[in-house]
Amino acid sequence: MSRKVSKVFEQSGVIPYRFRNGKIEILLISTRNYQHWVIPKGDIPNGMSPPDSAAKEAWEEAGVIGQVDANELGTYKYRKRGRIYQVKMYLLPVEIVSEDYPEANQRKRQWLDVNKAIRRLKFSSLKRILKSFFQSKSIFVHLDAGQMNFSIDVYTQCPESEETP
């Protein structure tokens, strides 16, 4: 007896984040029916890279713009309407938050600290991605106050010297 192999549909998504009062906040959005809190994600159009597609979803679903980090954080799978989806996740440091964006009338959005965001998310595999990145690493933030730019360096252990890179 042969086993039917289900097609897995590829998607990409972002974890939009910002710094407020020295802490990281993550932006969650509601599903269109307001039943769950999720992250911006969607199908990857033909000819578009997963990070570019993730940036597009961030704009359409959450109204945020930034430069997506091309390093994949991880993947998670979920089922919806009998289909299996696999989502490639990326970080998005948010530079612009707009009140006028394509799905503004269809979704709510909420900035939360990392622990609250993890508790609100629906999918345990997505929660694990956030936990593994934001809770198990030492994160060093470099701020350029004049330009309001920042970057993040992540270490699995603290660097040897006291200087930050």
Domains by residue range for the chain, with CATH: 8-135 (3.90.79.10)
> Taking the model in full, what pTM does it have?
0.79
pLDDT value at residue 3: 63
Which of 25, 21, 22, 156 has the alpha carbon at shortest distance from 93?
A: 25
Evaluated on CA atoms 94, 97, 103, 107, the torsion sign reads: positive
pLDDT value at residue 143: 44
pLDDT string in tens for the chain (165-residue length): 556 667 999 999 999 999 998 889 999 999 998 889 999 999 999 999 999 999 999 999 999 999 999 999 999 998 888 999 999 999 999 999 999 999 999 999 999 999 999 999 988 888 888 888 776 544 444 444 444 444 454 444 333 333 333
